[in-house]
Homo-oligomer: A and B are copies of this chain.
Amino acid sequence: MRLTTKGRYAVTAMLDLALHQDRGSVALADIAESQHISLSYLEQLFAKLRKAELVRGIRGPGGGYHLAKAPEDISIAAIISAVDERVDITSCRGNENCDKGERCLTHQLWEDLSEQLHNFLAGISLRDVVGWPKVRQVAERQDARTGRDVCVPVNEIQQAGNQA
């Protein structure tokens, strides 16, 4: 199990979909903007998410992506695994090339640790994360405001679109 910015992008994007389930579907362009990454790169990530059957895409105007399952059926571990395509060459995997002695034990211990981590993240669903109390407060605070805003000084991005 690995955890990089790639996995983070995937998880936050999936959270975005989970938060906007009522909207039907969310366009990648919107997510790309809020995450500050390129549309094409996001598309590549979503290609993997789609192959893992975590999301479904809808083409045409008004289209976008939505979750392929209920939020409670999508674990964080599943999302990270989908985009990570782990080749996992943890050296001596059941091979004798590693000294059969104590040194190989450390690799086994890492495997155990990695598995613990995976189980931990497999036990957390999108629904769990969305429902975390700490965040609810923020969400409710959001509901009070109606303005759509951008996370970052607006001058940095997109001065073209004045969609409303």
Q: Which A residues have a C-beta under 8 Å from some C-beta of B?
A: 1-5, 8, 11-13, 15-16, 19-20, 30-31, 33-36, 76, 90-93, 95, 97-110, 112-113, 115-117, 119-125, 128-130, 132-136, 138-154
Closest residue to A9 on the B side, CB-wise? B110
Could you tell me if B101 and A151 are in contact, using CB atoms closer than 8 angstroms?
yes
Could you tell me if A15 and B139 are in contact, using CB atoms closer than 8 angstroms?
no
Could you tell me if A19 and B113 are in contact, using CB atoms closer than 8 angstroms?
no
Could you tell me if B140 and A119 are in contact, using CB atoms closer than 8 angstroms?
yes
Could you tell me if A102 and B8 are in contact, using CB atoms closer than 8 angstroms?
no
List 8 A-B pairs, minimum CB-CB distance, nearest first.
A123-B144, A34-B103, A3-B3, A92-B151, A120-B144, A128-B146, A101-B151, A12-B106
Copies of this chain, how many?
2
CB distance from A157 to the nearest CB of B (A): 9
Write out the residue numbers on chain B whose beta carbons fall within 8 Å of the beta carbon of A1: 3
Known: A106-B19, A106-B34. A119 touches B144 (CB 8 A): yes
Write out the residue numbers on chain B whose beta carbons fall within 8 Å of the beta carbon of A4: 2-4
